Structure 1
Amino acid sequence: MYSTASESASADAQSRDVDTPDSIAPGEMIREAESTTRQRVLQLVVEEGPISAAALGSELQLTAAAVRRHLDAMTEQGILEVKNVTTRRRGAGRPSRRYVVSQRGQRTMGDDYLGLVKTALALLQDGSASQTVQDGGVSQGEGAAPEAAAGLAREYFAGFEQRWEAELAQIEDLDARTDRLSELFNEEGFAGFTRLVGRDNPLLAMQSTQLCQGHCPIREIAAAHPVFCEEETDMISRLLDVDVRRLSTQAAGAHVCTTHVPVGREKLAAEQRARAAAHAEAELQISAEDGATHQSRKVSGGRKRIVISPRQQERLS
């Protein structure tokens, strides 16, 4: 006899069969795993490119064949491109194949145009009041377009700076502050990371950190208006509280945006300031022990006190 209870039990069993991982087709599981691995390969190329297949396999703990399968697939799709690099170690031999993200690959990672367009429209609306009427027609002064691009760039990066400034100001060490800034860039879709340069160099002033961005959401706009790269560089300098230098930009054709942060030079300057302060403190203490207070030196016009020993006094008399 057929009952409602048996029908419900059958439906529950079917539901469990659908929700159970065992019901997923093996082909679908393989494709999902392949997609996840490919994303890991792509992300590492973004962060470390130009990078070789061997280095990718070592980093991801994959076989060379597995890595090359993903690299070949993404190269055929136009997401990656190959750069032949000749190193000193290889000499005049066969160049090494290194992989970087192509411009098409950058576009597949997404572009942050919506917020930028909204800001542009607001600026254009506000700037319409500054137009002047000449000879019965409406015209804007010469240089209005570059000024509008500069204003748009300032507005765009001002949003990042306002959100990040308070957090970065609490980090005193420049290396740590640069690392945190790279993380903030990464969270906003710029694929930020850092590279340490010259850390084995005995000269402290030669040590530096490279702040890198593997993806630029506004690459095409920055290529047309380089002022965006300039404004971003100025923002980085203010957030790190140090003079930085831009080494490369994706807008100019590089595969990664790189900013030179003179960590060693700043550490050396801090050490010199600390030594100078310690020396001044030591001189002040010696003067105090000789009976000359800081106040008395100010009253005497800041002249240096010469202390003569009794033996030197006998020779002079």
Structure 2
Amino acid sequence: MKNVGEAREVPERAPQEELATGERSTRNRVARSILDHGPSTVADLAGRLGLTQAAVRRHLDALVQENVVEGREKRVYGARTRGRPAKVFALTDCGRDAFDQSYDKLAADAMRWIALTHGEAAVAEFARARIAEQAEAYRAAIEAAPPERRTDALAKALTADGYAATARSAPVGEQLCQHHCPVAHVAEQYPQLCEAETEIFSALLGTHVQRLATIAHGDGVCTTYIPKAAPQPAGSADNTADSTGGTDIAENTANTSASTAGRNPA
């Protein structure tokens, strides 16, 4: 992560400067933890980083002033419980950019050229072809995992591609959470990227999935709901796996989960 607002280094640091450098290092760890795990409470960060809650608040206050993180009310799915919702801290766009060397403008210009020259359908076709190529590694990871661990295997494969993904239990299913999106800024303009990704998840896991939230839509994390799979007839798993290879996946998943892919239904 870039050190926002860090003073220029001199050959020899005074003790106060050494202290400031240590503070910045810890502050970067706080921001990195939010990137890897998504919007987090003070207690979450203190537990993960081995810091006191008072120390975490001090670093968060500094990061808020630098526009690296922002505080927000924790989103509650389902019925609310009594009491005030916990406050969580999420990365701002500025904070996310600090972790990237981005080629967003170049990518957006290329997408715009495709749309103007060949039409919106060509943008969707490109998005499917792009994710289909990535999906080869995801398919291999999923096929090597037992059925009950396939979502977790997909999360690990996505993390290897820079999406900082995790899988967790949800009522009657699971949630796949991507805490980072390398193409979020481009996907804001071209949601076909999110839609193609959702389609590929459905094909790889062999079930309808529902996109609940996306970073491109302004949410803190991309969240995909995966219902508990129903028992399949013998041989159906092999057919699903075969359908994810090469360019076939773009054709076989064109209409899967399209009604909710890439957009927060809220």
Q: Tell me whether 1:102 sits opposite 2:88 in the alignment.
A: no
On the 8 A contact 1:38/1:70 being kept in 2, the answer is yes
With normalisation by structure 2, the TM-score equals 0.69
Q: Deviations for 1:124-175, whole angstroms, at most 9, x for unmatched residues?
A: 6xx9xxxxxxxxxxx96xxx3212311221232123112332232222323x
SS in 1 for 2:23: helix
Q: Identify the structure with the greater helix proportion.
A: 1
Give the Å deviation of 1:238.
2.0
1:44 aligns to what? 33
**Whole-angstrom distance in 2 between the partners of 1:260 and 1:240:** 12
Tell me which of 154, 160, 167 is aligned to 1:194: 167
Is the 1:197–1:210 contact (alpha carbons within 8 Å) kept by the matching residues of 2? yes
Task: Indicate whether 1:210 and 2:199 are aligned.
Answer: no
1:85 to 1:250, Cα distance in 2 relative to 1, 3 A:
closer
Alignment of 1:5-24 (within 5 A): none
Q: Secondary structure at the match of 1:251?
A: coil
- Alpha-carbon distance between aligned partners in 2 of 1:117 and 1:231, rounded to the nearest angstrom: 16
- Counting only pairs closer than 5 Å after superposition, residues 1-317 of structure 1 correspond to structure 2 as 30-85=19-74, 88-91=80-83, 96-110=86-100, 113=103, 117=107, 120=110, 144-174=118-148, 176-198=149-171, 206=172, 208-262=173-227, 265-266=228-229, 269=231
Residues 47 and 193 in structure 1, CA contact (< 8 A), matched pair in contact too:
no
CA shift, 1:89, in A, is 4.9
C-alpha change, 1:194 and 1:86, in structure 2 (3 Å) is closer
Q: Distance in 1 between matches of 2:219 and 2:31?
A: 17
Q: Which has the higher contact order (CA 8 A, sep 6+)?
A: 2
Q: How far apart are the structure 2 equivalents of 1:118 and 1:55?
A: 36
Preserved contact between residue 47 and residue 191 of structure 1 (Cα < 8 Å): yes
In structure 2, give the amino acid aligned to 1:63: T
* Distance in 1 between residues matched to 2:103 and 2:90, nearest whole Å: 23
CA displacement at 1:32 relative to structure 2: 5.0
Query: Aligned partners of 2:17, 2:86: CA distance in 1, in Å?
Result: 35
**1:226-285 CA distance string (max 9 Å, x none):** 1111100111122222221111111111111001111xx31x536xx79xxxxxxxxxxx
What count of residue pairs does the alignment treat as equivalent?
219
The one-letter amino acid paired with 2:142 is L
- Output the CA distance in 2 between the equivalents of 1:37 and 1:147: 46
Cα distance in 2 for partners of 1:158, 1:118 equals 20
Supply the distance in 1 between the matched residues of 2:17 and 2:159 (Cα, whole angstroms).
Answer: 31
Rounded to whole Å, the distance in 1 between the matches of 2:203 and 2:17 is 49
RMSD of aligned Cα (Å):
3.3
